[in-house]
């Protein structure tokens, strides 16, 4: 490699290292000045964190990747108007809102773990939900087969463990687990049209606006 090329390469490496040492506030200043390198540093610093934050709320890898990309595109597009005190806090709130917006507008299918969280939150504090959603959940539980409803109620309203339920009803723990899974799946199916709004309410309560 020619001497001048080596010098340019070394200078570029030192320049990148200097950027990486800058605090977010300095990088934001550079971003407002159309500095692409500052943008790249911020992207590499936060994109993975934001993906996992989104994925913890909605387990669809492709959708979460798209939401993160859209967030950074928006950040670059609005770079000259940015008025941000804490970039990390801003990005966390922004990705959360994008996930919630997606859930509300796309009627996304939410996995069983989210449904279980929803039901647990409902059992603990029904004020989390609008009255019509609360009634839908109650109606759904009431329509479960008798044994399934009994097991589900003992689990979610009396807070018994699977082992305690199995002992009380003289059935196996596996049967308890299967019946709870059936109940959650039934509720998921029954709330398909309403689910995005309900999950949004749960997530807003859990993580703040």
Share above pLDDT 90 across residues of the chain, in percent, rounded to a whole number: 28
pLDDT digits (tens, 9 = 90+) for 16-51: 677 788 888 999 998 998 989 889 999 999 999 999
Q: How many domains does the chain have?
A: 2
| Last residue of one domain, picked from the residues 82, 106, 130 | 106
The CATH number covering residue 141 comes to 1.10.10.10
pLDDT bin (cut points 50, 70, 90) of residue 2 is: very low
Separation CA 63–CA 69 (nearest Å): 10
Comparing C-alpha atoms, which of 141, 48, 67 is closest to residue 108?
Answer: 67
Lowest mean pLDDT among 66-75, 87-96, 122-131, 189-198: 122-131
Angle at which helices 146-156 and 131-142 cross, to 10° = 130
145 and 80 in a common domain = no
Q: Which whole number is the average pLDDT over 166-174?
A: 94
100 and 123 in a common domain = no
79 and 45 in a common domain = yes
32 and 65 in a common domain = yes
118 and 94 in a common domain = no
pTM of the predicted model, to two decimals? 0.50
Name the burial class of residue 91, with classes exposed (0-12), middle (13-18) and buried (19+) by CB atoms within 10 angstroms of its CB: buried
Expressed as residue numbers, the domain containing 49 is 3-106
pLDDT bin (cut points 50, 70, 90) of residue 157 is: confident
Q: DSSP 3-state assignment of 94? A: helix
pLDDT digits (tens, 9 = 90+) for 59-102: 788 989 999 999 999 999 999 888 888 899 899 889 988 887 78
């Amino acid at each position: 490699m020619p001497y001048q090329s080596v010098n340019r390469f070394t200078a570029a490496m030192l320049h990148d290292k200097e950027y990486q040492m800058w605090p977010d506030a300095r990088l934001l200043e550079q971003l407002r000045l159309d500095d692409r390198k500052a943008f790249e540093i911020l992207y590499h610093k936060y994109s993975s964190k934001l993906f996992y934050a989104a994925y913890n709320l909605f387990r669809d890898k492709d959708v979460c990747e798209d939401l993160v990309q859209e967030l950074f595109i928006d950040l670059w597009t609005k770079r000259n108007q940015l008025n941000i005190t804490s970039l990390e806090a801003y990005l966390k709130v922004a990705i959360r809102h994008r996930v919630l917006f997606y859930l509300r507008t796309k009627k996304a299918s939410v996995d069983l773990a989210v449904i279980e969280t929803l039901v647990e939150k409902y059992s603990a504090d029904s004020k989390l939900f609008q009255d019509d959603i609360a009634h839908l959940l109650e109606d759904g539980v009431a329509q479960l087969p008798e044994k399934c409803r009994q097991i589900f109620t003992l689990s979610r309203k009396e807070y018994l463990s699977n082992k305690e339920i199995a002992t009380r009803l003289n059935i196996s723990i596996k049967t308890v687990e299967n019946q709870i899974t059936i109940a959650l799946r039934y509720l998921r199916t029954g709330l398909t049209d309403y689910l995005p709004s309900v999950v949004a309410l749960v997530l807003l309560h859990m993580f703040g606006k």
